[in-house]
């Protein structure tokens, strides 16, 4: 018979999960609000492009991907009240002004002949950064106490990885001349500098170097 007084590990020997995650409840809620905000902005941006992109095959793909981000935004909207008793609208915001400037620049190309710029901003700059932020969050939160957030992230990542692949294939099909390659590279560099200035989708610490001490102090 096992000794009931003998200390035991919280999980089985083959289960190496740790109970505490990297983020506090407040930090998780803040990031979820950032996710909801960017997902809604992507939905609105892609929805607008569907009407202006002349290429039928691209129009159809944008329409499908647009729906994904509406769904993602709703996922984070439903998650926010569970994280803390506060109005979701208070948390649904950009992490900083620089990130809003970045999003505005991504959505800026509106003319029918700017399909390359539209897709490069979305599929080569914004979407990879969003995937990186989701992956970092998933890898550093608690699988025990924060499993609902992990489930939401998994849904988002499944769609986003598929979109990233399809978007890149479309971009490659559009780049046929040196001038088009230069257009894509120049626009990508411009937007990359803007997202770096913002610190990422959730601001500084989006994909690393997260200040745990500062987060703990903010929650006190």
Closest CA relative to residue 148, chosen from 14, 9, 21, 15: 21
Structural domain spans, the chain: 25-208
Closest CA relative to residue 123, chosen from 165, 90, 95: 165
Contact 79, 148 (CB under 8 A): yes
As a residue count, the chain comes to: 220
Which pLDDT value is given to residue 19?
58
Which pLDDT value is given to residue 23?
86
Q: How far lies 40's CA from each of 24, 28, 31, 128, 197, in Å?
A: 24, 18, 14, 17, 22
pLDDT by residue for the chain (220 residues), tens digit each?
567 777 766 555 555 455 567 888 889 999 999 999 999 999 999 999 999 899 999 999 999 999 999 999 999 998 887 665 567 778 899 999 999 999 999 999 999 999 999 999 999 999 999 999 999 999 889 888 888 999 999 999 999 999 999 999 999 999 999 999 999 999 999 999 999 999 999 999 998 776 654 565 555 5
In sequence order, which residues have a C-beta less than 8 Å from that of residue 129 and are 6 or more positions away? 195, 200, 201, 206
Which pLDDT value is given to residue 100?
97
- The CA distance from 2 to 16, in Å, is 22
Any idea what the Cα angle at residue 75 is, between residues 26 and 48, rounded to 5°? 115
Which pLDDT value is given to residue 2?
62
Range 68-75 contact pairs with CB under 8 angstroms and sequence separation of 24 or more: 68/159, 68/160, 68/163, 69/39, 69/40, 69/42, 69/43, 70/39, 70/40, 70/43, 71/155, 71/159, 72/35, 72/39, 72/155, 72/156, 72/159, 73/36, 73/39, 73/40, 73/43, 75/152, 75/155, 75/156
Contact 94, 31 (CB under 8 A): no
Which pLDDT value is given to residue 10?
59
The CATH number of 25-208 is 1.20.1260.10
CA-based torsion, 211, 213, 215, 217: positive or negative: negative
Q: What is the DSSP letter of 220?
A: -
Which pLDDT value is given to residue 82?
67
Which pLDDT value is given to residue 22?
84
Query: pTM for the full model?
Result: 0.86
Which pLDDT value is given to residue 91?
87
């Amino acid at each position: 018979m096992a000794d009931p007084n003998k200390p035991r590990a919280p999980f089985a020997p083959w289960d190496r999960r740790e109970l505490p995650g990297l983020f506090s409840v407040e930090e998780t809620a803040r990031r979820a609000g950032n996710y909801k905000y960017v997902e809604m902005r992507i939905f609105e941006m892609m929805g607008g492009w569907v009407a202006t992109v002349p290429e039928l095959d691209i129009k159809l793909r944008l329409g499908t991907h647009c729906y994904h981000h509406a769904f993602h935004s709703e996922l984070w909207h439903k998650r926010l009240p569970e994280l803390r008793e506060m109005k979701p609208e208070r948390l649904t915001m950009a992490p900083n002004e620089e990130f809003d400037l970045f999003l505005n620049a991504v959505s800026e190309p509106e003319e029918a002949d700017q399909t390359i710029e539209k897709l490069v901003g979305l599929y080569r700059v914004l979407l990879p950064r969003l995937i990186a932020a989701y992956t970092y969050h998933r890898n550093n939160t608690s699988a025990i106490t924060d499993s609902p957030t992990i489930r939401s992230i998994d849904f988002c990542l499944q769609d986003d990885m598929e979109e990233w692949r399809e978007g890149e294939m479309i971009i490659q099909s559009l780049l046929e001349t040196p001038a088009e390659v230069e257009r894509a590279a120049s626009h990508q560099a411009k937007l990359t500098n803007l997202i770096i200035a913002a610190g990422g989708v959730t601001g500084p610490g989006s994909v690393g170097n997260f200040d745990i001490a500062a987060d703990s102090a903010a929650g006190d």
